Amino acid sequence: MKINQEEREKTSRKCSSVVDGNFEEVPRETAIQFKPPLYRQRYQFVKNLVDQHEPKKVADLGCGDTSLLRLLKVNPCIELLVGVDINEDKLRWRGDSLAPFMGDFLKPRDLNLTIILYHGSVVERDSRLLGFDLITCIELIEHLDSGDLARFPEVVFGYLSPSMIVISTPNSEFNPLFPSVTLRDSDHKFEWTRMEFQTWALYVANRYDYSVEFTGVGEPPAGAENVGYCTQIGIFQKNGGRATEACVSEQHDQHVYKAVFTTSYPSLQQERFFKLVLVNEVSQQVESLRVSHLPRRKEQDGEQGDKPKDIGGSKAPVPCFGPVFTEVEKAKIENSPKPFCVGDKFFVPLQRLLAYPRLNRLCANEEMMRSVIADSIPLSSDGSAVVTDLCNYFDEQFEF
């Protein structure tokens, strides 16, 4: 699309007069400072959109140093996160920053997450990016020459056709507020006014059956409100929702991108990590119940011999340092089978454990819990309760 030079010059004169004519009200230094920085505002805008729409498959075209991917990987809804960039060296250099940390293994995600970085051009068709919920193009299109810009909608909107597309690009009407700026980056092939961007976006949306709304980040300084946001943003949504799996499967495999980095995160969907988390949660809860009973032990000694002793009390234990339960959760705990003692053994029914919210979220029923923990935690002869020693060496040291 050709840029209307007369409109740009007209807009530039207006913006310059705002700064030059009201210099004391709008200092040039103030006009170009953003808090938080503009790039962070752009990334946070995308993150807020992800929080709102909860896409499972997200791709960032022109991902650069992968900063946006690193911000998005913590979103629990995302299961596949893809970055595409023309700079292979940068992708290889930044790939390790997307790998799981130790904390990700200690506290696995609920859902699987795979992250892939591809080297390739955004105007090439690769079938591995079909069927995505969200594709972002943050400060990308202004780097495309006229030929690539013409092909860009055909590939992204026509071929990939995700449910949602977010495109951000500089607003050239804001540029006169910067000192000595025509184009903001030496690699930019163009920068559009709001009218130019919206004209292009509406044409593309209409052609490929999308709706589009416009917004932006980077508020102008007082006295220059007429220039609009520093970064203009178009949010495109596919009319009729996402492409069906059937439509995606009909596309022939077309792999032109080169995968340069792939990693997967531990999750509760993976059996070994699910077992690790469940065993740890059960052990912690049993220990909490055992320790809470110790102060009452002396009062009960000798009263009932080796008969089972109901030590649950009428109320759910509330640890000094632990989760705070709602009234509904407390009632569920209080109405569940209570822990008991037989001799020097302490028994916690599995039904009691399932009454606690964190364990209830992990396990659907008693049978599932029993099958997972049976070879890691001692159970009663009938498998209905966890069994542990009522007292241990550390209790004596700390005189419970």
On whether both 95 and 202 belong to a single domain, the answer is: yes
Beta bridge partners of 169: 232
* Number of separate domains in the chain: 2
Examine residue 332 and state whether it is found in any structural domain, yes or no. Answer: yes
Encoded amino acid at 313, one letter: G
On whether both 224 and 278 belong to a single domain, the answer is: no
pLDDT at 391: 82
On whether both 162 and 276 belong to a single domain, the answer is: no
On whether both 127 and 220 belong to a single domain, the answer is: yes
Inter-CA distances, 266 with 82, 129, 274, 344, 362, Å: 17, 23, 9, 38, 15
pLDDT at 58: 98
On whether both 178 and 276 belong to a single domain, the answer is: no
pLDDT at 198: 98
Give the separation between CA 217 and CA 219, rounded to whole angstroms. Answer: 6
Examine residue 303 and state whether it is found in any structural domain, yes or no. Answer: no
Encoded amino acid at 295, one letter: P
Inter-CA distances, 142 with 8, 23, 38, 310, Å: 16, 30, 17, 72
- What residue numbers bound the domain in which 391 lies? 271-292+326-396
Sequential pLDDT tens for the chain (400 residues): 444 444 444 444 444 333 333 333 334 444 478 999 999 999 999 999 999 999 999 999 999 999 999 999 999 999 999 999 999 999 999 999 999 999 999 899 999 999 999 999 999 999 999 999 999 999 999 999 999 999 999 999 999 999 999 999 999 999 888 877 677 888 899 999 999 999 999 999 999 999 999 999 999 988 889 999 999 999 999 998 665 444 555 556 889 999 999 999 999 999 999 999 999 999 999 999 998 877 666 555 555 555 555 555 434 444 445 578 899 999 999 999 999 999 889 999 999 999 999 999 999 899 999 999 999 999 999 999 999 998 875 555 555 4
Examine residue 306 and state whether it is found in any structural domain, yes or no. Answer: no
Of 265, 284, 310, which closes a domain? 265
On whether both 190 and 339 belong to a single domain, the answer is: no
On whether both 157 and 199 belong to a single domain, the answer is: yes
Q: Indicate the SS3 state at residue 145.
A: coil
pLDDT at 7: 44
Examine residue 205 and state whether it is found in any structural domain, yes or no. Answer: yes
Examine residue 138 and state whether it is found in any structural domain, yes or no. Answer: yes
On whether both 280 and 384 belong to a single domain, the answer is: yes
Of 219, 250, 265, which closes a domain? 265
Examine residue 320 and state whether it is found in any structural domain, yes or no. Answer: no
On whether both 149 and 240 belong to a single domain, the answer is: yes
Give the separation between CA 197 and CA 149, rounded to whole angstroms. Answer: 13
On whether both 167 and 57 belong to a single domain, the answer is: yes
On whether both 344 and 233 belong to a single domain, the answer is: no
On whether both 212 and 275 belong to a single domain, the answer is: no
Of 228, 246, 265, which closes a domain? 265
Characterize 298-318 residue by residue with b for buried, 16 or more Cβ atoms within 10 angstroms of its Cβ, and e for exposed. eeeeeeeeeeebebbeeebee
Would strands 385-389 and 345-349 be described as parallel, antiparallel, or unpaired?
antiparallel
Here the CATH number for the domain that contains residue 345 is 1.10.10
Here the CATH number for the domain that contains residue 172 is 3.40.50.150
pLDDT at 185: 81
